[in-house]
């Protein structure tokens, strides 16, 4: 077979009918044309001459390179190149058939590894090519280029793992949420495992941040948060992602300011007091009494309007049940309008307002909620709630109640471990908790809790590295191993369980229920956690001690001094004030050893009754 290189005018080239690429032969032609215009034709076309048959100029069939030919003709059609532009070709005049040549060219090729691709994009960026420039040269979107550059910025050690097949592209993509190579490497090499899902990696990378789905984030909004100097970390690979708000303290301040602004007229209604509590939940609100209300009749016009709204609401709900989910926004609007109309029939007398107050808070979806007519426990508007709030604010400011989110996650993991171990020891409480969870899910739509009753088990060591040293974790792991050794094959499990004594089944049930507890910060419902802790008799002094390694070194100096002042004495904290932080942390561990001091997040509130 002979091969002759030759420059042939584009107008003398045509696609061979024997080219094997029949499916998607024009796929990504725009991208290929842009690349050829930017860099020229980097690979010859393979052609075979066609019999003249009286033609003035020779014609050649392109048997390999049909997509390149189509891209060149597209450029000519758009007047980017001339119709007679010379094209480098390799002439195959005899030997292999056109089909064999085409198949060889399309079949025997190995695409570059994705890591090679995005590192090549990074090299172009280092050569001062902008994202729009790179996108234009290759005929691809700027978003695609930005995503590949973000992948190239991941730790070289992780990219090497990806090349070796130890990680997947999905896992590597998750690491782009953080620019910290040490943090990326810690999560993968010290905590990770081959099957670690991408969502678990994202959770660990963003454990100290507030997700965009959080009610506070929804209420403030990304634009206002960024305008105030906050940074929203976004996932370039997830178009639906709301991002992560990196400064929770700034977000809390903005929430309070916006709540205050939007509720400034409420106090003018005549209430004795008003409190802004962004995280007021049903547990807190249930502690208040309700001032007596006055019922008034709707006017005829209001009744007519309510009937029309209700009729339309019923129509849309019926359509929703038939599968038409396009009217969600209108359903929400109608529901709000009907609630507002019905709310006008409820009012309070001036005397009732003089004894009651209002709490302004956030709903689950980030909407403002105003709870009027509240009476404080055991009193009628003497300012006690404001005083309590002031005390809470003072505690948060002196370092006793507010720690970095990473520390709070650590503490909540230790509390979860202790709750699990105590639950596993108390079958009666486990059965009560299980029943409570089932009834909550089946009879109270939307009710929260801290038990994952579909038997989900959150591995604490993936959230907090030091948890493996916890005696609660070690005790539960030993019990788990003992049960694993006893249990039969799954096919025999039902008969095996039926043959056990009731006490043994209760013990196994308690262990299984214990494993579902999720009291991690940002995990289960915290009111349920507190109630469960009280029912189990949790005392974290039995399960956790503050140490320099896992606690004090992660605090500020002021927070360390506040802990010593509270747990030992003010004089003791003064003696440490002049020390450097590392020495201060070591001395704090010694001073508080055996003192029984606990940080506020680990202190158990007053016991509740049952689990309701």
Q: For the range 577-583, what are the long-range contacts, defined as Cβ-Cβ under 8 Å and sequence gap of 24 or more?
A: 581/553, 581/557, 582/553
Instruction: Determine the average pLDDT of the residues in 99-113.
Output: 56
Instruction: Determine the average pLDDT of the residues in 174-184.
Output: 86
Per residue in 381-408, pLDDT (tens digit) is: 433 333 443 344 344 334 434 577 777 7
Predicted local distance difference test score (pLDDT) of residue 436: 66
Q: What share of the chain is helix, strand, coil (3-state, %, to 5)?
A: 55, 10, 35
Residue 520's contacts (CB-CB under 8 Å, 6 or more residues apart) are: 409, 412, 413, 416, 458, 460, 463
Predicted local distance difference test score (pLDDT) of residue 523: 53
Structural domain ending residue among the three candidates 48, 77, 107? 107
Please indicate whether residue 156 or residue 440 has the higher confidence score (pLDDT): 156
**Residue 362 forms part of a structural domain:** yes
Predicted local distance difference test score (pLDDT) of residue 213: 78
Same domain, 127 and 71: no
Same domain, 457 and 598: yes
**Residue 566 forms part of a structural domain:** no
Beta bridge partners of 233: 244
Tell me if the pTM is above 0.75: no
104, pLDDT greater than 60: no
**Residue 557 forms part of a structural domain:** no
Instruction: Output the DSSP codes for 228-281.
Output: TT--EE--TT-TT---EES-HHHHHHHHHHHHHHHTTTTGGG--SEEEE-TT--
Predicted local distance difference test score (pLDDT) of residue 155: 92
Instruction: Determine the average pLDDT of the residues in 213-228.
Output: 87
- Residue 158: pLDDT band by 50, 70, 90 thresholds? very high
Instruction: Determine the average pLDDT of the residues in 539-562.
Output: 86
| Matching residue, tokens 């058939």 | 97
Residue pair 519/420 in contact by the 8 Å Cβ criterion: no
Per residue in 83-101, pLDDT (tens digit) is: 888 988 888 765 555 555 5
- The DSSP bridge pattern shows strands 45-50 and 59-64 to be antiparallel
Predicted local distance difference test score (pLDDT) of residue 606: 41
**Residue 562 forms part of a structural domain:** no
Query: Which of the given ranges, 125-129, 182-186, 226-230, 450-454, has the highest pLDDT on average?
Result: 226-230
**Residue 235 forms part of a structural domain:** yes
Residue 198's contacts (CB-CB under 8 Å, 6 or more residues apart) are: 170, 171, 173, 174
| Matching residue, tokens 């172009």 | 124
Predicted local distance difference test score (pLDDT) of residue 449: 58
Residue pair 148/121 in contact by the 8 Å Cβ criterion: yes
In degrees, rounded to 5, the angle at the alpha carbon of residue 440 between the alpha carbons of residues 434 and 445 is 150
| Matching residue, tokens 């019999």 | 51
On the 0-12 / 13-18 / 19+ scale of CB atoms within 10 A, 282 is exposed
Per residue in 366-386, pLDDT (tens digit) is: 888 888 888 886 544 433 333
Same domain, 204 and 159: yes
**Residue 505 forms part of a structural domain:** yes
- Residue 554: pLDDT band by 50, 70, 90 thresholds? confident
- The domain tally of the chain equals 4
- Residue 58: pLDDT band by 50, 70, 90 thresholds? confident
23, pLDDT greater than 70: no
Structural domain ending residue among the three candidates 189, 210, 245? 245
Predicted local distance difference test score (pLDDT) of residue 391: 43
Predicted local distance difference test score (pLDDT) of residue 396: 38
Structural domain ending residue among the three candidates 380, 397, 414? 397
Same domain, 332 and 354: yes
Predicted local distance difference test score (pLDDT) of residue 388: 43
Per residue in 575-585, pLDDT (tens digit) is: 787 778 888 88
Same domain, 218 and 263: no
| Matching residue, tokens 């998750």 | 174
Instruction: Determine the average pLDDT of the residues in 5-16.
Output: 86
Same domain, 352 and 465: no
**Residue 579 forms part of a structural domain:** no
**Which residues span the domain enclosing 538?**
405-545+594-602
> Which among 559, 289, 529, 243 is positioned nearest to 404, based on CA atoms?
559
Same domain, 13 and 78: yes
Instruction: Determine the average pLDDT of the residues in 499-510.
Output: 83
Quickly count: other Cβ atoms within 10 Å of residue 570's Cβ: 10
Same domain, 271 and 368: yes
Give the tokens for residue 177.
Answer: 């949420």
Instruction: Determine the average pLDDT of the residues in 334-361.
Output: 79
Please indicate whether residue 53 or residue 309 has the higher confidence score (pLDDT): 309
Residue 512's contacts (CB-CB under 8 Å, 6 or more residues apart) are: 455
Cα–Cα distance measured from residue 602 to residue 380, given in angstroms and rounded to the nearest whole number: 32
Same domain, 262 and 393: yes
Instruction: Determine the average pLDDT of the residues in 217-231.
Output: 89
Which CATH number goes with the domain that contains 79?
3.90.1530.30
Please indicate whether residue 132 or residue 103 has the higher confidence score (pLDDT): 132
Cα–Cα distance measured from residue 359 to residue 260, given in angstroms and rounded to the nearest whole number: 11
Instruction: Determine the average pLDDT of the residues in 26-49.
Output: 80
Same domain, 150 and 103: no
Centroid of chain to Cα 216: 14
Same domain, 136 and 222: yes
Same domain, 118 and 209: yes
Q: How many helices (DSSP H) and strands (DSSP E) are in the chain?
A: 28, 14
326, pLDDT greater than 80: no
Average pLDDT of the residues of the chain? 77
**Residue 581 forms part of a structural domain:** no
Residues in the chain: 612
Cα–Cα distance measured from residue 542 to residue 46, given in angstroms and rounded to the nearest whole number: 79
Give the tokens for residue 283.
Answer: 């547990």
């Amino acid at each position: 077979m002979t091969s002759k290189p030759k420059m042939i005018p584009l107008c003398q080239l045509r696609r061979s009918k024997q080219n094997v690429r029949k499916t998607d032969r024009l796929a990504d032609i725009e991208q290929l044309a842009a690349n050829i215009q930017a860099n020229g034709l980097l690979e010859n076309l393979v052609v075979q001459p066609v019999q003249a048959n009286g033609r003035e100029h020779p014609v050649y069939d392109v048997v390999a390179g049909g997509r390149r030919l189509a891209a060149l003709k597209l450029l000519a059609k758009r007047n980017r190149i001339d119709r007679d532009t010379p094209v480098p070709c390799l002439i195959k005049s005899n030997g292999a058939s056109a089909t064999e040549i085409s198949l060889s060219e399309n079949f025997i090729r190995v695409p570059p590894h994705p890591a090679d691709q995005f590192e090549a994009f990074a090299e172009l960026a280092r050569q001062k090519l902008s994202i729009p420039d790179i996108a234009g040269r290759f005929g691809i979107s700027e978003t695609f280029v930005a995503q590949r550059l973000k992948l190239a910025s991941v730790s070289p050690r992780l990219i090497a793992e990806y090349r070796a097949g130890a990680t997947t592209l999905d896992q590597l993509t998750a690491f782009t949420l953080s620019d910290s190579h040490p943090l990326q490497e810690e999560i993968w090499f010290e905590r990770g495992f081959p099957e670690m899902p991408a969502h678990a990696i994202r959770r660990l990378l963003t454990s100290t941040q507030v997700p965009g789905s959080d009610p506070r984030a929804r209420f403030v909004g990304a634009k206002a948060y960024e305008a105030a100097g906050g940074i929203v970390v976004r996932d370039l690979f997830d178009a639906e992602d709301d991002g992560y708000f990196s400064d929770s303290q700034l977000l809390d301040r903005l929430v309070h300011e916006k709540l205050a602004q939007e509720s400034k007229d409420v106090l003018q209604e005549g209430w004795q007091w008003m409190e802004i509590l962004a995280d007021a939940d049903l547990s807190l609100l249930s502690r208040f009494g309700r001032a007596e209300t006055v019922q008034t009749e709707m006017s005829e016009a209001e009744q007519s309007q309510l009937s029309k709204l209700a009729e339309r609401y019923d129509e849309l709900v019926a359509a929703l049940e038939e599968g038409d989910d396009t009217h969600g926004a209108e359903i929400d609007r109608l529901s709000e309008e009907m609630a507002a109309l019905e709310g006008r029939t409820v009012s309070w007398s001036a005397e009732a307002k003089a004894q009651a107050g209002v709490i302004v808070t956030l709903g689950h979806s980030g909407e403002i909620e105003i709870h009027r007519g509240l009476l404080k426990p055991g009193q009628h508007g003497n300012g006690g709630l404001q005083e309590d709030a002031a005390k809470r604010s003072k505690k948060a400011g002196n370092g006793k109640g507010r720690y970095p989110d990473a520390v709070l996650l650590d503490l909540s993991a230790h509390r979860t471990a202790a709750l699990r171990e105590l639950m596993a020891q108390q079958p009666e409480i486990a059965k009560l908790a299980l029943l409570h969870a089932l009834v909550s899910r089946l009879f109270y739509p939307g009710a929260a809790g801290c038990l994952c009753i579909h038997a989900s088990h959150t591995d604490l060591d993936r959230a907090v590295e030091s948890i493996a040293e916890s005696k609660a974790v070690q005790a539960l792991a030993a019990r788990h191993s003992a049960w694993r050794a006893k249990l039969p094959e799954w096919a025999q499990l039902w008969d095996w369980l039926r043959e056990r004594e009731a006490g043994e089944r209760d013990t196994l049930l308690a262990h299984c229920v214990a494993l579902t507890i999720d009291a991690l910060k940002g995990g289960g419902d915290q009111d349920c956690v507190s109630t469960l802790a009280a029912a189990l008799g949790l005392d974290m002094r039995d399960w956790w001690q503050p140490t320099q390694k896992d606690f004090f070194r992660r605090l500020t100096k002021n927070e360390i001094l506040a802990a010593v002042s509270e747990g030992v004495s003010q004089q003791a904290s003064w003696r440490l004030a002049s020390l450097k932080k590392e020495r201060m942390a070591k001395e704090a561990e010694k001073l508080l050893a055996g003192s029984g001091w606990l940080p506020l997040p680990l202190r158990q509130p007053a016991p509740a009754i049952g689990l309701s």
